[in-house]
Chain A
Amino acid sequence: MTERVHTPEEQERLVEQTDEGTQDDLLPRTEDLVVTGAQWPDEGNTMIVNMGPQHPSTHGVLRLVLELEGETILRCKPVIGYLHTGMEKTGEELTYVQGCTNVTRMDYASPFFNELVYSLAVEHLLGLDVPERATWIRMLLCELNRVASHLLFLASNGMDIGALSMMIYGWREREEVLRFFEKVTGLRMNHNFIRVGGTAADLPDGWQDDVLGLCDIVLEGVYDYDALLTENPIWLERTVGVGVITADEATALGVTGPILRSTGVAWDLRKDAPYLAYPEVEFDVIYTDNGDCFDRYRIRLNEVVESLRIVRQCVEKMPGGDYRVQDLKVTPPPRKRIDESMEALIHHFKIFTEGFKVAGGETYQAVESPRGELGCYLVADGTSRPCRMHVRAPSFYNLQSLPVMMQGGLVADSVAIISSVDPIMGDVDR
């Protein structure tokens, strides 16, 4: 891929022609947000194409402003904000008990991670120790969720590059995982299952067989994808050397997750800043050196296998005990105690109306979500609602790498690249 260098005059002409400012001009201006490029440029051979927010391959409502010369992308500018939901602000109006219901909707492809990072942050502020079983249940669900999320990536990545059947195959295996989630939590997504103090319920009877069964099915599926795509010459042509990003660029842009690992930086919070019980399970961090679309595909494919390894160890080592702390100020009493005890009834009522109070302080907790570092910054002011909540969403940071990856590529590459970043727009706009 050749880097395109503009002469100053050409640069000026481009800026004038497109009203969009240069790529390195990062100051936001009002005209940046105005739809431009409706007219043909008066001179030169470039054309502005507005890709999205309604477009089949922009994974929701991502909008890209592409400047093309023929089919070559000269510049690319991602425009976000089409799915703004204000969940961070809403979180400041909800009690800590209600918070999980809110955050789980951010990154809708990996809801457990959102709940986990929020719960970890609140528990850190409370100084609460979670029972061992709760920790392992959380780890089990999160790793299964990583599998589901990566399967969704493999499906949509195949679809975007034109391998139509891959979409259905990926969803087929993901469905198995979602079915297990439904059995455990009652819902296929937006579970609100991992809560402050543990989980909402214990795992259902016979869960081991379900999990081991689905591990086999998913692994079988992964071998199928590997056979279908990894060695396929057209697949290699479309992904190898496409959308290259270097380690320096990735770290400078705050990119994390599989994209960072594809550049040769083996950064994984599960190893580098362990949380839950990750030090007690064996797994490898997958990383490669090339930083292209193919490596991002390959890393995720292999991460599914690694996650399944962790899941199997969870089944093996799952400790007994309670699935949530029995601190009546934080978790509700068992249902049957409410009929017997006045105190239990009062606790139940207090928790679900007022919530619990958290002493003043601030914290930042981060987990390795399927997309990268998912962090939650909470400021507590002694009431039952957070004073400030901010979520460091990996998709938001990863999207910043699009202009770097796209420069010099073709229109067809842009689709492959967006797909390989695997952005979830709910995560980007929060």
Chain B
Amino acid sequence: MISDPLLSEGVDLTVVLIIIGKALFVFVLLLVTVLILIWLERKIVADMQNRIGPNRAGPFGILQSVADGVKLFFKEQSIPESADRPVFRLAPYLSVVPAFLAFSVIPLGGEIEIAGHTTYLQLAEIPIGVLFVLAMSGIGVYGVTLAGWASGSKYPLLGGVRATAQMISYEAALGLAIVGAVLHGHTLSTRGMVLQQGPWEGWGTVADWFFIAVPVSFVIYVIAMVAETNRAPFDLVEAEQELVGGFHTEYTGVRFAIFFLAEYMNMVTMSALAVTLFLGGPAGPEIDFLPHLWPVVWFLLKVSLFIFVYFWLRSTLPRLRYDQLMDLGWRVLIPLAILWLGAVAVFRVGSDQGWPVAVTLPAVVAGGLLIMGFLWLSMPRREPVVRRGSTSSEEVHRG
């Protein structure tokens, strides 16, 4: 069992101060990241759309998010007359607090020494860190759902109902994808997962990262992660073309800002978890100059890779419809994840018991095909759309 060496020699004032310091550091880091992310998203999407994007506040408009935040903090906060007032007030915090908490178990780097104490660059190392993240994202659903319900208005209600269904469905896929990685890594601790993927020993280490070992889990995780954070193309919860603003239609001022903050923090947390589980966490080339800093840099770089994918998807893809989203979740991702989980489990037991691969591999493939065939046969099918008439000659002819 891994546990933070900071706590192994008893708790005194310094230890408490160090923990408070780390908590503040993570808090500020997340806030600053979110501010930069919002600016980056607007800049990157603007670039993809032949626009300039924000360029007034500060150099390259980098202070735009700060300006927006200040504006929102000074705005009047109106509460609709038909709203359930206590719940309406509570909902934003239900959304933002779990987003903060979930990040606390993510390992940002290796060990450092402060004031004679050795500690991890991680706010909290708990033995079931992965489950903790899932639990927190489960609580985050309440924020969105209750916001929609408590607004006493129809569009937010639709948004809230969609959110509940979507997030619960994709949480299942997300959880199953994570279980695949956990089975392979033999641990539920986030730092344990990083350690399982090995310390950096040149670029060959990349092959030990779990996105190579459990690729299907990785793909399912990435898809489910986009849906879980309600981002395009799965942003039905706040589909502005349909539901005006979705669950936060009736929110103004600070409370609106908090929802916004929560969304971006969830993006960061989910990406960070992906990096931790599948991309080796903070592992990366070791450099002698400032050796403790570089793991954090590698970690942030890997996270920004996922974040960029978020932006890229948003500016490219149309939005899925509600029923199509559910189809994808329940009919594709979850069965696939369960099948994959079975395969991983068989291999795991096989390697522990010393079964020859020549036996396990065909057995797994045959079993998988059998189950997939059965599922395919038993699945209700949508009527295919019939296309009458030949339209090929009328298609756009390329010049």
A240 touches B385 (CB 8 A): yes
> Which partner residue on chain B sits nearest A37 by CB separation?
B154
Contacts of B317 in A (CB 8 A): 162-163, 232, 234
What residue in chain B is nearest A419 (Cβ atoms)?
B241
Q: Which of chain B's residues have a CB closer than 8 A to the CB of A53?
A: none
Query: Which B residues touch A160, using CB under 8 A?
Result: 241
Q: Does A205 contact B (CB under 8 A)?
A: no
Q: Which residues of A contact B116 (CB under 8 A)?
A: none
Give the distance to chain A from B332, nearest Cβ to Cβ, in Å.
12
Q: A165-B49, A290-B387 are in contact. Are A222 and B324 (CB under 8 A)?
A: no
Contacts of A325 in B (CB 8 A): none
Q: In whole Å, how far is A402's beta carbon from the nearest beta carbon of chain B?
A: 15
Whether, in the assembled complex, B111 has its beta carbon less than 8 Å from a beta carbon of chain A, the answer is: no
Q: B50, B158, B318, B397: which contacts A305 (Cβ < 8 A)?
A: B397
A286 to B393, alpha carbons, bound, how many Å? 10
Whether B389 lies near A288 (C-beta < 8 A) is yes
* B351 CB to nearest A CB, Å: 38
CB < 8 Å neighbour of A223 from B387, B391, B396: B396
Question: For residue A290, which residues in chain B have a CB less than 8 angstroms away from its CB?
Answer: 385, 387-388
Residue in contact with B318 in the complex, picked from A56, A238, A241, A287, CB distance below 8 Å: A238
Whether B45 is near chain A, meaning CB under 8 Å from some CB there, is: yes
Least Cβ distance of B249 to chain A in Å? 11
Q: How far is the CA of A228 from the CA of B316 in the complex (A)?
A: 8
- With both beta carbons as reference points, the residue of chain B lying nearest to A411 in the complex is identified as B242
Let me know if A415 is at the binding interface, CB within 8 A.
yes
Q: What's the least CB distance linking A140 to chain B, in Å?
A: 21
Min CB distance A155 to B, Å, is: 11
Bits for A44-64, please: 1 = Cβ < 8 Å to B, else 0: 000101000001110000000
Asked if A161 contacts B324 (CB within 8 A), the reply is: no
Chain A, 268-297, contact with B by CB distance < 8 Å: what is the 0/1 string? 000000000000000010111110100000
Q: Which residues of B contact A241 (CB under 8 A)?
A: 385
Q: 1/0 per residue A141-168: CB within 8 Å of B?
A: 0000000000000000011111111001
CB 8 Å contact bits of B319-332 with A (1 = contact, 0 = none): 11111100000000
0/1 string, B43-75, CB within 8 A of A gives 1 = 001001111000000000000000000000000
Question: Of residues B51, B155, B318, B387, which shows the largest number of chain A Cβ atoms within 10 Å of its Cβ?
Answer: B318
Which residues 202-254 in A have Cβ within 8 Å of B in the complex?
219, 222-223, 226, 228-230, 232, 234-235, 237-238, 240-241
Name the residue in A159, A168, A228, A230 with the highest tally of chain B Cβ atoms < 10 Å from its Cβ: A168
Q: Check A168–B50 contact: CB distance below 8 A.
A: yes
Whether, in the assembled complex, B233 has its beta carbon less than 8 Å from a beta carbon of chain A, the answer is: yes
- B residues less than 8 Å from A162 (CB atoms): 232-233, 235, 239, 241, 317-319
Q: How far is the CB of A292 from chain B (nearest CB, A)?
A: 8
A302 and B314 CA atoms in complex are apart in Å by: 27
- Docked pose: A411 CA to B242 CA in angstroms: 7
What is the minimal beta-carbon distance from A260 to any residue of chain B, in angstroms? 15
Inter-subunit contact B387/A164 (CB<8 Å): no
State whether A164 and B244 are in contact (beta carbons under 8 Å apart), knowing that A288-B391, A289-B387, A301-B396 are contacts in the complex. no
A116 to B362, CA, bound (A): 73
Tell me, rounded to whole Å, the shortest Cβ–Cβ distance linking B393 to chain A. Answer: 9
The listed residue (A56, A237, A264, A305) touching B244 by CB distance below 8 A is A56
* Residue contact B395 to A412, C-beta cutoff 8 Å: no
Point out the residues of chain A lying under 8 angstroms from B385, CB to CB. 240-241, 290, 292
Q: Which residues of A contact B398 (CB under 8 A)?
A: 223
Establish whether residues B394 and A159, one from each chain, have CB atoms under 8 Å apart when the complex forms.
no
Give, as a whole number of angstroms, the nearest-CB distance from B244 to chain A. 6
The residue among B242, B323, B399 with the most chain A CB atoms within 10 A of its own CB is B242
* Distance between Cα atoms of A223 and B399 in the complex (Å): 9
| A163 and B396 within 8 A (CB) | no
> Across the two chains, which residue of chain A brings its CB closest to B245?
A56
Residues of B within 8 A of A169 (CB): 49-50
The complex places the Cα of A415 from the Cα of B244 at a distance, in Å, of: 11
Is A415 in contact with B396, judged by CB distance below 8 angstroms? no
Measured CA separation A235–B320 after assembly (Å): 8
Partner of A237, one of B315, B321, B391: B321
Closest to B388 in A: A289
Contact indicator A238/B321 (Cβ below 8 Å): yes
A237 near B324 with CB under 8 A, answer yes
Q: Is A357 an interface residue (CB 8 A)?
A: no
Complex: how many Å from CA A1 to CA B268? 40
- Closest CB-CB distance, B82 to chain A, in whole Å? 10
**A166's closest neighbor in chain B, by CB?**
B318
| A404 on the B face (CB < 8 A) | no
Chain B residues within an 8 Å CB radius of A411: 158, 242-243, 322
User: Which of B48, B321, B397 sits near A410, CB closer than 8 Å?
Assistant: B321
- CA–CA, A223 to B232, complex, Å? 24
B318→A412 contact, CB < 8 A: no
Q: What residues on B are CB-neighbors of A415 within 8 Å?
A: 241-242
> Within the assembled complex, what's the spacing in Å between the Cα atoms of A362 and B397?
44
> A238, B241: Cβ atoms under 8 Å?
no
A232 pairs with B321, CB closer than 8 A: no
Complex Cα distance A364/B323, Å? 47
CB distance from B326 to the nearest CB of A (A): 11
Known: A162-B319, A165-B48. A57 touches B242 (CB 8 A): yes
A413 interface contact, C-beta 8 A? yes
B240 within 8 A of A: yes
- Please name all residues of chain A whose beta carbon is closer than 8 Å to the beta carbon of B155 when the two chains form the complex: 49
CB contacts (< 8 Å) of A168 on chain B: these are: 49-51
Please list the 10 inter-chain residue pairs (A to B) with the smallest Cβ-Cβ separation, ordered nearest first: A162-B319, A168-B49, A289-B389, A163-B318, A241-B385, A57-B241, A289-B388, A162-B318, A412-B321, A161-B318
Q: A residues touching B (Cβ–Cβ < 8 Å)?
A: 47, 49, 55-57, 71, 158-165, 168-169, 172, 219, 222-223, 226, 228-230, 232, 234-235, 237-238, 240-241, 264, 284, 286-290, 292, 298, 301-302, 305, 410-415
Q: 29 A-B residue contacts at CB 8 Å?
A: A56-B240, A56-B241, A57-B241, A57-B242, A71-B322, A161-B318, A161-B319, A162-B233, A162-B239, A162-B317, A162-B319, A163-B317, A164-B45, A165-B49, A165-B315, A223-B396, A234-B233, A234-B318, A237-B321, A284-B394, A288-B389, A289-B387, A290-B385, A292-B385, A298-B395, A301-B396, A305-B396, A411-B243, A414-B242
Further pairs besides A234-B319, A237-B320: 5, Cβ < 8 Å: A159-B241, A163-B318, A219-B399, A223-B396, A412-B319
